[in-house]
Amino acid sequence: MHIRYLTLAFMFLLYATQANAETFDGYVKRLAEHPQVTQILEQTTRYKELSDSAMGLPDPVLTIGVDNVPVSNPSFNSFLPTSKVIGFKQQIPSYSARKAKSGKQEKLSEKQQLIANYTMARLEAMLISMLAKLDKVKQQEAYAQKQLVHYKALEEFFKGKLESGSGVYWRFSQVDVERSQVENKLNDLVAERDDIEAELVRLVGEVPDIPLPNIPNINWNGSEDALYPLRIASEDIAIASKDVDYADAAFGPNYGVNALYKQRESGTGFNGDDWFSAQVTVSIPLWYSSNQAPKIRAAEAGKRSTENAYSDAIRMWKRSLKALSSKRDAALKNVMVFVQRDKSLEKMVAAAERNYEASESDLDTVLDAQINQLTIKSQLAEQRARHLTLMAKFNSHIIGEKE
């Protein structure tokens, strides 16, 4: 009974550990806290706040002072013009101009949000790529270790041949060269693993121990709005349009309100009294030909520039995605080629083993076939990782349904 309780406790702990184990989606959520994403999101907040502030009025100006105080006899009861003054001044910039400026900041905020989402997608693609490469390195290390075992067996086999009088010296040097190449590859794989693991730590804080995720094979439907870089470029046009609106609003008037309240004490020849002044100011675009007109022409030229840049970006990304999809599809075809080659070599290894067991061939035939199959398996792992990397990279440019 006691053993049964221990078994149940162990199973419960195992289940709890598995339930709390990280998943690929969990690591993707971690990417949302990556500094590359958060610093862009802070810019999103910054522009949003600037958008709100653009609609506010400038601070009013309060004036407190005196008017026309005589120097020879400072007082407030000797001369009629002498008075104490309190004033108020408020500038009211054009509502259209403020609205255009606020709209530009809003568009900048929306652009930063798109950039943040794009950055997140590219970091996810990088995570997938690193996981695929790490899996590839692990497989290739295992295949290389098996090859070294087979080369050791070949060396022992040819040593026996030499002792029996067979002239197989040339095979010793060949085996030694091939084994050196495998050992060099192992050293390179160790360095590659260290670099991959360092990159994974940079991305998610640790080296994940999870299965490779399923990556969908997405194709671009040709819509410019479906691509992050083109959507971001289109935001530049919207931002430039707000510059045009702002320049156009400069033709409209700016307003102002001024008010003064004056107090004169009673004195010689005057019983004392208070009075006030009030003014409303309106700007007139008198010099529009040398002020506002060049600004609006400059804004319109800026908008045309962004439109041309957007047209160029469309052409560039059509070319880039076509090339990237071709590489992705070619990598998949290469995977299928190596899969078929692996199956063929598996049959050859089985045939060589049967012939060896039937004493119809030597051991080196079996070992050579096994080494060749491991080489193909290593190349297959390389192409699978490349295919996953290219798929993830291609998908990162496509805007998902959540957008």
398 burial type by CB count under 10 A (0-12 exposed, 13-18 middle, 19+ buried): middle
At 137, list the tokens.
């390195």
Closest CA to 147 of 344, 334, 368, 323: 368
Q: Measuring CA to CA, how many Å separate 258 from each of 54, 86, 106, 261, 278?
A: 22, 11, 32, 10, 6
Q: pTM for the whole thing?
A: 0.84
At 130, list the tokens.
């690193």
- Report how many helices (DSSP H) and strands (DSSP E) the chain contains, helices first: 8, 4
Locate tokens 């060396």: which residue?
Answer: 155
The Cα–Cα gap between 257 and 368 comes to 95
What tens-digit pLDDT sequence spans the chain (403 residues)? 444 444 444 444 444 434 444 899 999 999 999 999 999 999 999 999 999 999 999 999 999 988 877 777 777 666 667 788 999 999 999 999 999 999 999 999 999 999 999 999 999 999 999 999 999 999 999 999 999 999 888 888 777 666 565 655 667 778 888 899 999 999 999 999 999 999 999 999 999 999 999 999 898 988 999 999 999 999 999 999 999 999 999 888 999 999 999 877 776 666 667 888 899 999 998 888 898 899 999 999 999 999 999 999 999 999 999 999 999 999 999 999 999 999 999 999 999 888 887 876 678 788 889 999 999 999 999 999 999 999 999 999 999 754 4
Report angle CA 188, 190, 196 to the nearest 5 degrees: 100
pLDDT (0 to 100) of residue 272? 63
Helix axes of 169-204 and 95-163: crossing angle, nearest 10 degrees: 160
Phi-psi region of 283 (alpha: psi -120 to 50; beta: other; left: phi over 0): beta
pLDDT (0 to 100) of residue 1? 43
Closest CA to 220 of 397, 66, 380: 397
pLDDT (0 to 100) of residue 167? 58
Domains with residue ranges and CATH for the chain: 22-55+95-237+317-396 (1.20.1600.10)
pLDDT (0 to 100) of residue 8? 44
